[in-house]
Amino acid sequence: MSVFRVCGTDMEIAFPCDRDRARIMEDSEYYNLRNYALDFLFKRYAHDDVG
Q: Is residue 14 part of a domain?
A: yes
pLDDT tens-digit profile of 7-30? 677 777 777 777 788 888 898 888
The reported pTM is: 0.61
Q: Is residue 9 part of a domain?
A: yes
- In sequence order, the 6+-apart residues with CB closer than 8 A to the CB of 11 are 3, 4, 5, 33, 36, 37, 40
Q: Is residue 51 part of a domain?
A: no
In total, how many domains does the chain have? 1
Q: Residue 18 sits in which domain range?
A: 2-45
Task: Name residue 22's amino acid.
Answer: A
CA distance 32 to 28: 7
Q: Is residue 29 part of a domain?
A: yes
Write down the pLDDT at residue 15.
74
Nearest C-alpha neighbor of 11 from the set 19, 1, 24, 21: 1
- In sequence order, the 6+-apart residues with CB closer than 8 A to the CB of 29 are 14, 15
